[in-house]
Amino acid sequence: MGPNKHEAIYDSTQAVKTGTTIMAAVYDGGVVMGADSRTSTGNYVANRVTDKITSLAENIYICRSGSAADTQAISDYVRHFLHQHSIQMEEMPEVKTAANLAMQLVYGNKNNLQAGLIVAGWDKQNGPSVWAIPLGGTLLNVPFTIGGSGSAYIYGWCDSEWKPNMTQEECEAFVVKSVGLAIARDGSSGGMVRTLTINKDGVKRGLYRGDEIPRGYDELPGGSRMETN
């Protein structure tokens, strides 16, 4: 008897991965983070509404790509260490402190982890900042960064469209459009676009469904949305 026709689609032994598009950008006064919501196991979509933007502290968040288990474990460790640090310092932690903790965990275990991360947030000492931690554990302070499998499709777009000192509205639109374009072209990215805006006033989340994401010029027009009772 031949192999089951479903074996090529779903293999339970494969790691659950956030084959993904993640990004973050600094604007005048804060940062905007964005990510798609698809989690896959091989060719099987394990979760289509994943939240890949995880809290590390009240003012600091992390975008996760790579192995879901690895990135969740790193996030838990960093959150624990930051909590201890903030108690000792009696103030909210700095974004660069969280980024350095994540970098040391990734770099120190780079042969065993598959994790590409973006740490971003706002603190009173340095204001808004974005830190990129690609595979291997390099740490870069950048004005904007993209990661995950979908990032290869939008490097040119992001280099062309990003500009310094954007307003909050311009930066949010830039992030949503960028992740939307990656979703349209990358088979491992999909679902919705989740955003997170962080500034001195706090945190604001955004959620954009498929019919609310700006379309590329080469995409087919969407049909009418099915209404349910």
* 41 classed as catalytic: no
Radius of gyration for the chain, computed over Cα atoms and rounded to the nearest angstrom: 18
φ and ψ at residue 66, rounded to 5 degrees: 115, -140
Determine the 3-state secondary structure of 214 from DSSP. Answer: coil
Determine the 3-state secondary structure of 3 from DSSP. Answer: coil
Question: Per-residue b/e over 72-81, b at no fewer than 16 CB within 10 Å?
Answer: eebbeebbeb
DSSP assigned state of 222: P
Number of H helices, E strands in the chain: 4, 13
Report strand pairing: 22-27 vs 60-67: unpaired
Q: Which one is catalytic: 13, 18, 20, 167?
A: 20
Point out the residues that are catalytic.
20
